[in-house]
Amino acid sequence: MTLVQNAPDSPVRAAPDAVDPRLRPVPWDAADAGRSVRRRMSLLLPLNLLATVWYFGWLLQPDRVGSPVLYGVLVVAELFNLVQVLGFWWTVRAERVRPSPPWDGPPPAVDVLLPTYNESVDVVEPALAAATRLRGGQVDVWLLDDGDRPEMATLAARHGAGYLTRKEHTGAKAGNINAALQHISAPYVLVLDCDHVADPAFLEATLGHFADERMGFVQTPQYYANADRNPVAAAAWSQQALFFGAIARGKDGMDAMFCCGTGVVFRRAALDDVGGFPTASVTEDFQLSLLLHERGWRSAYVPQVLASGLGPEDMSSYASQQLRWSRGCLSAIPATLRARLPWRQKTQYLLSSLYFLSGWTVLIYLTFPMLRILLDLSPVDVDSADEFLLHFAPYFVLALLSVAVAGSGSYTFRAFALQSASCWIHALSTVRTVLRRPGGFVVTSKEGAGTWQPRAVAPALVLIVVLSVVAVYGLVTSPTPGIANAAAFSMLHLSVLSAGAGLALRRSPRLPPRPAEPAHGHD
């Protein structure tokens, strides 16, 4: 309260940064100003294609078949990754950075919805206060409390916001919003997670896109303001940065940007057209986007950080978030396949959904060296020891380079390690999806537990132990170059898994804050 009163125009600039990271300037530029990923990738793509042909041309020869079963599994895994890689290149090559046209006419009415369930007042209050200070529209702020908590009602009243609750708490976040839609009528609806502190210029930067009458929603980046304070949030943010940077700009270039649940402005008519948020999915935003695009509504992505939120601060939260996302996206595959969408949009949705199968490839890859050491089984048959290196290394290095270049260095090793250590989540989600086991909506915790959470990474820890034992066993019993090579692969995997899983084994997982850098998103 004090903060807001002291900073009538810009809570971001006025707040002392030691208090709440969401009130500090944003050091990340979602538009990657001054650099063109399209141009840089144009230089890299021919090399990438050559390396890909070089590797797969070698791998897919009949002479390469070692153990037939393992070879088949390897080829499937490699082809899956190839699809993902090709999709990545295709997406980032299509990048579009939209200008922000001003709203033409008197400021329109906008309902700002902040759904909440169990978050604390400390988390919600800065977001609510910032929402009431939005410019560029006749704003009505609504706090949608699914927890029925009196302190939230008090909070809403204190900030002049509306307070809505409901009798039946069904449909999770989607149900909460749908219930609110019954009580509001503004032509535009801004949905913000209750931890997202909006920039006062949010609406000024987004509403102009609705000049297009078929514009259904305008998405903005999610930004984890606690990324410099917590290693889990930092790694999670690094993954997000790649998506909300090059990938989201590319999806927008193909009119295929989907709604990400927060920091998004909807045209009320579009929401009404599809009957509000779908409540049958745990990724209601993804499903909603699919429906809107299928109904002919368009989407836009504004690569400008207009709201600062909080990422998961512990492994338990991260795991539950990933489980929900993977479960929701994988279950959306049939709907996507059925959807009557242009092929580009459909392929983009499929690529996003299929991404959550990539955990399987990690599990496959780390199995191979163990089988080599224990059973002397190898998926590929090579004439000499350096053949695999010769063909695989260029493909691998250039793929890494592409990610590094496309993400402008935002994608870190820790992000990769966290993703790899979450491979079991993807596998579990796949099983649940196939078995049609229902998935529950679990709100991602905004506040870290600050304790050891070995159970959150237990499968990864088991893998680490097995890999270590097998590698040591191989080196001790048969220190030949072939076994040493397999052991080195094992060490590679266990190092990556350890770096990811290690985040769960830190008792005090807070990093010192970085010195503030000039803001981009809020300026």
Partner 1 sequence: MELLTTGRPAPAETAPVEPGRPPAARRRLLTEQALIMGAQAAAGLGNLVFALVAVRLLTPEQFASLVAFLAAYLLLHLPAGSLSAGAALDPELAARTRRRVLLLGGGVGVLLALAAVPLSVLFNLPVMMVLALAATAPGAGLLALARGRLYGEGRRLGVATSLLTEPLVRLAAGLAVAAVAGPVAAAVVIVLAGYAALLVATLAADRGPTSLQPTGPSDASGVAAGTAVGAFLLLAVLQTQDVLLANRLLDPEQAAVFAALSTLGGVAVFATATIPLVLLPRAARDTPAALSTAVFTAAAVGAVLVLAVALLPTGVTTAAFGPAYGEVSELAVPYLSAMALLGVVRVVVAGRCAAGAGRGLLLLLLLGAVAQVAGILVLGSSAQAIALVTLAVSVALALLVGLLIALQASQEQRLLPTLAARVRTPVFAAVLGLSALGLLLRLSVTRSLWLDEATSWRQTQLAFDDLLFDLATTDVHPPLWGVLLWLSVRVLGDGELALRLPSILAGTALVPALYVAGRDLFDRRAGLMAAALGAVSPLAVWYGQEARMYALFMLLATLSLWTVVLAVRTGRVRWWVAFIIVTFALLMTQWFAVLPVAVELIAVLILAVRRRRRRAPVRPLLLGAGGAVAGLALLSLPVLPYLTDQLIAYGNRGAGFAAPSQAGAGVGVATGAPELGIYIPMVNLAWAVGGFHNPSIMTLLVSLWPLLLLLMLGLLGRGRDATTSLLLALIAVPPGVLFAVAQFKPDLFELRYFIGVVPILLLLLAQGASSLLSRNGTVAALGVVLVAASVGALYDQQTGGQNPRQYDFREGVSEINAVAEDGDLLLYAPDYLDNVIGYYGPELEARPLADEDLPPADRPGSVFLLQSFDDRSEVTSAVSDARNGLEQQDRELVAEITVSNVTIWEYR
**Residues at the site binding partner 1, with contacts judged by CB under 8 A:** 34, 238, 383-386, 389-390, 393, 396-397, 400, 403-404, 407, 409-416, 479, 481-482, 484-485, 488-489, 491-492, 495-496
User: Taking every pair of C-alpha atoms in the chain, what is the biggest distance, in angstroms?
Assistant: 79
Closest approach of partner 1 to the CB of residue 202, in Å: 29
Beta-bridged to residue 138, according to DSSP, are 109
Q: How far apart are CA 322 and CA 356, in angstroms?
A: 9
Helix, strand, or coil (residue 111): strand
The DSSP-derived string for 428-471 is: HHHHHHHTT------PPPSS---S--GGGGHHHHHHHHHHHHHH
CB of 404 to partner 1, least distance (A): 6
- CB-CB contact of 251 with 257 (8 Å): yes
Least separation in angstroms between CB 228 and partner 1: 14
Q: How many angstroms separate the CA atoms of 305 and 359, rounded?
A: 30
Q: Are 124 and 155 in contact (CB under 8 A)?
A: yes
Q: Which two tokens stand for residue 265?
A: 């402005």
Neighbours of 143 (CB within 10 A): 26
Give kind and range of the element (H or E) at residue 318: helix 315-331
C-alpha pair distances (Å), 461 with each of 419, 424, 448: 14, 11, 21
Whole-number minimum distance, CB 467 to partner 1, in Å?
13
Residue closer to partner 1, measured from CB, 4 or 487: 487
CB-nearer residue toward partner 1: 73 or 404: 404
Measure the CA–CA gap between 164 and 180, rounded to whole angstroms: 7
CB nearer partner 1, residue 57 or residue 479: 479
CB of 4 to partner 1, least distance (A): 35
447 within 8 A of 313, measured Cβ to Cβ: yes
Q: How far is the CB of 28 from partner 1 (least distance, A)?
A: 13
Among residues 393 and 476, whose Cβ is nearest to partner 1?
Answer: 393
> In angstroms, what is the minimal distance from the CB of 225 to partner 1?
18
Kindly state the smallest distance separating residue 321's Cβ from partner 1, in Å: 21
Count of C-beta atoms within a 10 Å radius of residue 202:
30
The Cα 396–Cα 55 span in angstroms is 9
Tell me if 474 sits within 8 A of 440, measured CB to CB.
no
- With CA atoms as reference, report the closest residue to 22 among 262, 286, 382, 333: 262
HSE-CB at 167 with a 13 A cutoff on CA atoms is: 0
Our CB check for partner 1 shows the closer of 5 and 384 to be 384
Q: Measure the CA angle with vertex 465, ends 463 and 371; round to 5°.
A: 65
Cβ at position 417, least distance to partner 1 in Å: 8
Residues 249, 417: Cα–Cα separation, whole Å: 25
CB of 485 to partner 1, least distance (A): 4
112 by DSSP, 3-state: which? Answer: strand
If the CB atoms of residues 403 and 501 are measured against partner 1, the closer one turns out to be: 403
Residue 214: count of CB within 10 angstroms of its CB: 11
Nearer to partner 1, 288 or 496 (CB): 496
Helix (H) or strand (E) segment spanning residue 286: helix 284-294
Task: Find the shortest distance in angstroms from Cβ 419 to partner 1.
Answer: 11
Helix, coil or strand: residue 183: coil
Q: Which is nearer to partner 1, 269 or 400 (CB)?
A: 400
SS3 state of residue 217: strand
Min CB(35)–partner 1 separation in Å: 10
Of the pair 136, 500, the CB lying nearest partner 1 is at 500
**C-beta pairs of 51-59 under 8 Å, 24+ apart in sequence:** 51/394, 51/395, 51/397, 51/398, 51/399, 52/82, 52/85, 52/395, 54/391, 54/394, 54/395, 55/391, 55/392, 55/394, 55/395, 56/82, 58/387, 58/391, 59/380, 59/391
Residue 507 C-beta: closest distance to partner 1, Å: 16
- Report in angstroms how near the CB of residue 496 gets to partner 1 at its nearest: 7
What is the spatial distance between Cα 414 and Cα 503, in angstroms, rounded to a whole number? 9
